[in-house]
């Protein structure tokens, strides 16, 4: 109930501020000054993110030891991709003295297609390192987090690596992850760089790849300024001991990666980043599929901010810098409802004698867009892009990221007055396409 109240309060407060801003010049200028200050902060994050990513790409490989790693894959109706994913995971060269130091656990999460048989076929080919467990449909919440929690008793490793069923990795993927962890060996978790492997298959897929690179630049910037990085689902690794101290996965979490990230930070733990290690995934190829995915992401992120944020801010284990970083991060969810409500309020004033100040919604749009553009520039430049190609790709990333201006207010409205999502909304796969 409290989550509904907070979401509704955010929308109401946004509407009040919007009405004041388009009516009174002093309020409009104050809001625009706040936008300008936030842009300076984002520009600083972009710079620090670029520096951190470049340093990671140029760092010499360090042998990080070889703790046992369990790779965990939750799969529900993943027939187009599961065989290729398991093949790439089984081929990992992560070993000590010639003996593999990893295993793979696949959760067949109530699949009704050939996911289970294909996974068991892969297990038969690699019986020493791959196991399949079956979770009945209806056995607990229909969430990815519930599937991960179901497999917890099967985990052997000191480190758990979670990969999506469409993940594609190089044979040295796990080795590079564990070596990269030596840059921050006390970190409780690590997130690698996600990339859209089908990024050459249309504007929409390419834009999602730019978003992934931009997100890593933002995360590296936050981490470099003593803020807190976050896990991103595919390609996230967590130390088993840290996960168990927190009580394991939350089976009801809509976005298990973000929920776990916030709990880790609230417990005083750190999350490391490995921008130099990549995991491929399939970008969404349709607008309806993208909308469903983004709405789930937004709702899950907002819920965990509302439900876990106060505890993080009160926690004595969390340094002040990370608390301030957390508060700054929530700004991502403030601008979109302000933008939508200023547009609506401005449209309502059209028949009135005194027109609205349209510079207010324009400032919000440009502020959000310029911030996205700077982060995209940083991430793409760190990956070696330059010249007109860099500007063009960063511009496409800025245009694509503007969809969050509509998604976030919709998610807030859904939380405030709609039914709580109780089922994981799966992204439809098309099958493995070649990396390009």
What does the pLDDT look like over 311-339, one tens digit per residue? 999 999 899 989 999 998 888 889 999 99
Q: Is 53 helix (H, G, I), strand (E, B) or coil?
A: helix
Task: Compute the average pLDDT of residues 22-36.
Answer: 92
Starting at the edge strand found earlier in the chain, the sheet holding 69-75 runs 130-135, 102-109, 69-75, 159-163, 236-239, 189-196, 271-281
- State mean pLDDT over 10-31: 91
Q: Stretch 225-240: mean pLDDT, rounded?
A: 93
Give CA–CA dist 99/160, Å, rounded: 19
pLDDT at 436 exceeding the cut of 60: no
Look at residue 421 in the predicted model and tell me its pLDDT. 64
Neighbouring C-alpha atoms within 13 Å toward the C-beta of 304:
24
* Whether pLDDT at 20 is above 80: yes
Decide if pLDDT at 430 tops 90: no
From CA 133, how far away is CA 153, in angstroms rounded?
A: 11
The residue to which tokens 């069923």 are assigned: 165
Contact (Cβ atoms closer than 8 angstroms) between residue 258 and residue 332: no
Q: What's the structural domain count of the chain?
A: 1
CB 86 within 8 A of CB 122: yes
The domain in which residue 199 lies consists of: 1-436
CB-based contact 412:11 (threshold 8 Å):
yes
When pLDDT is averaged across residues 179-191 and rounded to a whole number, the result is 94
Contacts of 110 (CB under 8 A, 6+ apart): 76, 135, 136, 137, 138, 139
C-alpha span between 194 and 348 (Å, rounded): 42
Q: What is the pTM of this model?
A: 0.90
User: For position 281, which CATH number holds?
Assistant: 3.90.550.10
Tell whether the model's pLDDT for residue 60 goes beyond 90.
no
pLDDT of residue 422: 53
Q: Give the pLDDT confidence of 290-307 residue by residue, as tens digits.
A: 999 999 999 999 999 999
The rounded percent of the chain whose pLDDT value lies above 70 is: 96
Q: How far apart are CA 263 and CA 306, in angstroms?
A: 13
- Mean pLDDT of the region 159-173: 96
Distance CA 141, CA 77 (A): 17
Residue 427 has pLDDT above 90, yes or no: no
Q: How confident is the model at residue 355 (pLDDT cuts 50, 70, 90)?
A: confident
In 15-120, which ranges are E strands? 69-75, 95-96, 99-100, 102-109
- Residues 257, 161 contacting (CB under 8 angstroms): no
Tell me the per-residue pLDDT of 71-110, one tens digit each, with 9 for 90 and over. 999 999 999 999 999 999 999 999 988 899 999 999 999 9
Identify the band that residue 434 occupies on the pLDDT scale cut at 50, 70 and 90: very low
């Amino acid at each position: 109930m409290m989550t509904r109240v907070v979401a509704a309060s955010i929308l109401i407060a946004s509407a009040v501020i919007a009405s004041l801003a388009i009516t009174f010049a002093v309020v409009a200028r104050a809001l625009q000054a706040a936008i300008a200050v936030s842009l300076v902060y984002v520009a600083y994050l972009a710079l620090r993110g670029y520096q951190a990513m470049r340093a990671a790409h140029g760092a010499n490989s360090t042998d990080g030891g070889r703790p046992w790693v369990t790779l965990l894959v939750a799969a529900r109706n993943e027939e187009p991709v599961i065989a290729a994913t398991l093949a790439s995971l089984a081929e990992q060269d992560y070993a000590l003295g010639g003996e593999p130091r990893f295993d793979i656990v696949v959760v067949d999460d109530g699949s009704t297609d050939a996911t289970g048989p294909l996974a068991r076929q892969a297990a038969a080919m690699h019986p020493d390192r791959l196991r399949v467990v079956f979770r009945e449909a209806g056995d607990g919440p229909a969430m990815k987090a519930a599937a991960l929690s179901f497999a917890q008793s099967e985990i052997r490793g000191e480190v758990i690596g979670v990969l999506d069923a469409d993940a594609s990795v190089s044979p040295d993927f796990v080795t590079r992850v564990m070596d990269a962890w030596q840059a921050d060996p006390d970190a409780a978790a690590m997130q690698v760089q996600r990339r859209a492997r089908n990024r050459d298959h249309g504007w929409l897929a390419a834009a999602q790849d730019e978003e992934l690179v931009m997100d890593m630049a933002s995360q590296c910037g936050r981490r470099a300024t003593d803020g807190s990085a976050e896990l991103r689902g595919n390609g996230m690794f967590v130390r088993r001991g840290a996960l168990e101290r927190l009580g394991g996965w939350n089976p009801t979490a809509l976005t298990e990666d973000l929920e776990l990230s916030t709990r880790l930070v609230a417990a005083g733990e750190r999350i490391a980043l490995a921008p130099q290690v990549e995991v491929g995934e399939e970008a969404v190829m349709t607008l309806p599929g993208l909308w469903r995915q983004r709405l789930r992401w937004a709702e899950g992120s907002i819920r965990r901010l509302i439900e876990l944020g106060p505890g993080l801010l009160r926690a004595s284990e969390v340094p002040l810098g990370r608390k301030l970083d957390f508060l700054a991060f929530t700004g991502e969810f403030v601008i979109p409802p302000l933008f939508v409500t200023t547009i609506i309020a401005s449209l309502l004033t059209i028949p009135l004698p005194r027109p609205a100040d349209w510079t207010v919604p324009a400032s919000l749009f440009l502020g959000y867009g310029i911030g996205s553009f700077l982060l995209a520039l940083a991430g793409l430049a760190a990956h070696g892009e330059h010249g007109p190609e860099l500007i063009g790709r960063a511009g496409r990333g800025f245009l694509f990221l503007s969809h969050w201006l509509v998604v976030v207010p919709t998610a807030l409205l859904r939380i405030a007055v709609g039914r709580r999502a109780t089922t994981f909304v799966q992204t439809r796969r098309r099958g493995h396409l070649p990396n390009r």
